[in-house]
A = this chain, B = another copy of it.
Amino acid sequence: MSETPGERMHRLATELFPICRSLTGAGVRQTLDVLERELPGLVRIDVPSGTKCFDWEVPAEWNIRDGYVADLEGNRVVDFQRNNLHVVGYSTPIDQEVEWDELNSHLFSLPEQPSAIPYVTSYYKPFWGFCISHEARQRLKPGRYRVKIDSTLTSGVLNYAELILPGRTDREVLLSTYVCHPSMANNELSGPVLAVGLAKWLLTLPERRYTYRIVFVPETIGAVVYLSRNLEAMKRNTHAGFVLTCVGDERAFSYLPSRYGSTISDRVAVHVLGHRCSDFVRYTFLDRGSDERQYCSPGVDLPVASVMRTKYGKFPEYHTSLDDLKLVTAIGLGGTYDVYTDMITLLEANRIYQTTTPCEPQLGKRGLYPNLSIKKSGVPARAMMDFLAYADGTNDLIGICDRIGVYAPTLLTTLEKLSAAGLLRDVTP
């Protein structure tokens, strides 16, 4: 199969794009059906409306079949069937004629982005409304209109899914992404399809040091629900974690740290981004906005960071119909996939090493020194000597490589050779 990982992920995003997702409802289940087909071991969980989760409560389930604004001749001027962004998320049902003024108080458009349909929700306050491009809005003729939203907001369930890929140890790496947005590509489908891509790649590894917990939840309430059911195990086991969101465009990478920015997740992210994408954007935890708000909250305290392309809220297409499958590309997804596979490779390989002999080893007699310094494909001998100089049992691989200015993944073969030659000992506690 000559399809690249990026192309495969883009194809999956294309399949998932038309589904009308929300916090709850049939669209989420339909999305999880597709993900389960891709990831056979996926476990799906239903949580009833009204369930208490820490300070929150699972909301009513929302489903929608149709929605439109029509003129009195029956011409649909706003139509959910053409774009599911047209109806405000969690809109209560309605079916009546309204005056021009009332209609306008339920319409949302963006004068600065006249061709874009905005994305609006009203999860916690009963409301109905329509989103429309400003261009279309300006073409509407004043008068009475018929509005219809064929939705239900009733007791039901909130759905989420998780995939646990066991490793040699109970220590876990969390990959969390969300499935609650209707037809938008970067925020959000890039996240779930990258999660699928990484899960498939993890399944190809000969062995995994860490267990991987891959989580598909509706944003915010889903993360709260998930944590309320898994907190103790996650606090005990989580070694590193990332929120996968806005990972599909081709713009510069960005990094949003954990609460204090000093966990292993932060260190591996900064190391990999620093070497692969030197122009990456550094945000602070004050810029947070996705599920790291829950994962890094006091009392949860998980080591979770985000590596994104352009951060949510920072790209012009964000939360509009312009966030589509032209913005998210196979190249964009593939580049982020490469960054994440490097980060995970490095997490798996990150150990504390100690040399076995005082003084520098005599690498020449073992063929390690000249081979390496001459062969173009190898690591420069200097990097190897610098690594050994700090392999004193107090630094992990990332720490040494940050110090010596070397991209850690390029050293892995060398470290295997040095270990095989009996010159390095793994002293990870």
A410 at the interface (CB under 8 A from B): no
Bound Cα distance from A359 to B220, whole angstroms: 9
The answer to whether A393 and B357 touch across the interface, beta carbons within 8 angstroms, is no
User: Mask for A52-91, Cβ within 8 A of B = 1, else 0?
Assistant: 0111110000000000000000000000000000000000
| A405 CB to nearest chain B CB (Å) | 7
> CA–CA, A231 to B293, complex, Å?
48
Cross-interface CB contact of A297 among B55, B231, B358, B405, cutoff 8 Å: B358
CA–CA, A365 and B52, complex, Å: 13
- Check A393 against B358 for contact (C-beta < 8 Å): no
Stretch at the interface among A204-212, A339-347, A382-390: A382-390
- Closest chain B residue to A369, Cβ basis: B124
Q: Tell me whether A224 and B359 are in contact in the complex, defined as CB-CB below 8 angstroms, given that A259-B389, A389-B259, A404-B286 are known contacts.
A: yes
The answer to whether A299 has its CB under 8 Å from any CB of chain B is yes
Chain B CB within 8 A of A294 CB: yes
Question: Which chain B residue shows the least CB distance to A124?
Answer: B364
B223 & A286 in contact (Cβ 8 Å cutoff) = no
Could you tell me if A389 and B359 are in contact, using CB atoms closer than 8 angstroms? Answer: no
Q: Does A355 contact B (CB under 8 A)?
A: yes
**A285 on the B face (CB < 8 A):** yes
Known: A55-B362, A361-B55. A389 touches B355 (CB 8 A): no
Given the known interface contacts A286-B386, A286-B405, A404-B286, the answer about A362 and B56 at a Cβ–Cβ threshold of 8 Å is yes
**What 1/0 flags go to A139-160 for Cβ under 8 Å of B?**
0000000000000000000000
| A54 proximity list for chain B (CB < 8 A) | 357-359
Are A55 and B357 within 8 A (Cβ)?
yes
In whole angstroms, how far apart are the Cα atoms of A293 and B385 in the complex? 10
> Is A296 at the interface (CB under 8 A from chain B)?
yes
Contact B55 A298 (CB under 8 A): no
The reply to whether the CB of A300 lies closer than 8 angstroms to some CB of chain B is: yes
- Distance A355 CA – B300 CA, assembled complex (angstroms): 11
Across the interface, name the chain B residue whose C-beta is closest to A353: B298
> Which bucket holds chain A's interface residue count?
35 or more
Contact B231 A360 (CB under 8 A): no
A261 to chain B, nearest CB (A): 11
Known: A286-B386, A293-B389. A231 touches B358 (CB 8 A): yes
Residue in A224, A231, A298, A364 whose Cβ sees the most chain B Cβ within 10 Å: A298
What B residues does A297 contact at CB under 8 A? Answer: 355, 358-360, 388-389
- Chain B residues with CB under 8 A of A364: 124
What 0/1 pattern do residues 286 to 298 of A give for CB contact below 8 A with B?
A: 1010000110111
Given known contacts A362-B56, A404-B286, A357 and B299 CB-to-CB distance under 8 angstroms: yes
Closest 4 pairs (CB-CB, A-B): A298-B392, A299-B358, A55-B361, A294-B359
Extra pairs beyond A297-B388, A300-B358 (15, CB < 8 Å): A53-B359, A55-B357, A55-B360, A227-B359, A228-B359, A259-B390, A259-B392, A293-B360, A293-B389, A297-B355, A297-B358, A298-B354, A298-B391, A298-B393, A299-B357
30 A-B contacts (beta carbon < 8 Å): A53-B359, A54-B357, A54-B359, A55-B359, A55-B362, A56-B362, A124-B364, A223-B359, A224-B359, A224-B360, A228-B359, A285-B389, A286-B404, A288-B389, A293-B360, A293-B385, A293-B389, A294-B359, A294-B360, A296-B389, A297-B360, A297-B388, A297-B389, A298-B354, A298-B355, A298-B388, A298-B389, A299-B357, A300-B359, A301-B392
